[in-house]
Structure 1
């Protein structure tokens, strides 16, 4: 099976981290920061899987599902969101998504969702999974909160219950490798 996937998310750090993880698992990865860019890539490359963020500037991931499926009806789609509700999950599945996951979701969560469709015949190697170190998990969490605060250090420090200077020192360090 041709393992091609498009990742559509307006959060660049999250999108690039997912892209790297999928590439390491042998996928050909395409990325897009919004719906219009995603539709151009889907038209040109016809990936067989897609991971769409629900809330993005402009058109939402829910609007992207039928548009993508009209271009590539065989595409399997998983929707990610930080703002989950039963209504949007039901709507995503009704529109043709295979599954709906809350953020933060990692590559293993997403592959598990795709594995629900036996037609994809995905083999998930559980042995290759290694949990991130505590330092790595902390670094990723800090960056996710900072992204949610639109880069505002003071607001992120308040949400993380850290002193602003402590957060700045943590951000100056390179991310832990594992």
Structure 2
């Protein structure tokens, strides 16, 4: 008999979390949900801890999902963690992997994409390289996300370090959001 697959979804968007939950339950996962690091800590005290986790990068109140990744990996280094984000950047992808995530997916990603990421333990040396040159906008976007990661996704502090008004930074983040 196949062992029960337990999945933790860390997502502050309740509608999206419910949709993911239903989709994974149809695939025979038992799903736990959390909206914050505090919720995650409470759920990890259960008798049957999850073997899989899907963690949103940006949680409510400018909280970072990277803290959840670090905590989950510290609790169980064998847990398969996938970071899912609408704010994809190279900096946060690198940090997520360093902190213990197995994969980093940009939204929109579906259940098939996430489950495929659970199964991929090794990198792919044959992945295609992009031919596109880096634009000024891309460099700006990468710098913004580098500072956001350094500040723990504190928008006010990131704006101060970048030398711009907080509202300007918030507008840039909303405008560049990967959907």
Q: Same fold judged by TM-score > 0.5?
A: yes
In structure 1, the partner of 2:128 is none
Separation in structure 1 between the aligned mates of residue 35 and residue 74 of structure 2, nearest angstrom? 20
Kindly indicate whether residue 96 of structure 2 is the aligned counterpart of residue 73 of structure 1.
no
- Residue by residue over 1:93-141, the C-alpha shift from the partner in whole angstroms, topping out at 9 and shown as x without a partner, is 01110000001211111001011038xxxxxxxxxxxxxxxxxxxxxxx
Match 1:96 to one of 74, 97, 100: 100
- State the match for 1:162 in structure 2: none
User: Can you give the 5+ residue segments of structure 2 that lack an aligned partner in the other structure?
Assistant: 123-179
Give the C-alpha shift of residue 2 in structure 1: 2.9
Q: Residue in 1 aligned with 2:41?
A: 39
Please state how far the C-alpha of 1:34 moved relative to its aligned partner. Answer: 1.4
Distance in 2 separating the partners of 1:88 and 1:108: 23
* Counterpart pick for 2:31 among 29, 32, 35: 29
How many residue pairs are counted as aligned between the two chains?
Answer: 118
| Distance in 1 separating the partners of 2:52 and 2:79 | 5
Structure 1 residues 1-48: Cα deviation after superposition (integer angstroms, max 9, x where no partner): 431100010000000000000000000110111121012112314100
Match of 1:82 among 50, 66, 86: 86
Q: 1:8 corresponds to which residue?
A: 10
- CA RMSD in angstroms comes to 1.4
For residues 105 and 17 of structure 1, the distance between their equivalents in structure 2, rounded to whole angstroms, comes to: 12
Task: In structure 1, list runs of 5 or more residues that go unmatched.
Answer: 119-178
Distance (Å, rounded) in 2 between the aligned partners of 1:117 and 1:4: 18
CA contact (8 A) 2:77 2:100 kept: no
Residue 53 of structure 2 is aligned to residue 50 of structure 1: yes
Distance 2:50 2:77 in 1: 11
Q: Does the 8 A contact of 1:18 with 1:107 survive in 2?
A: yes
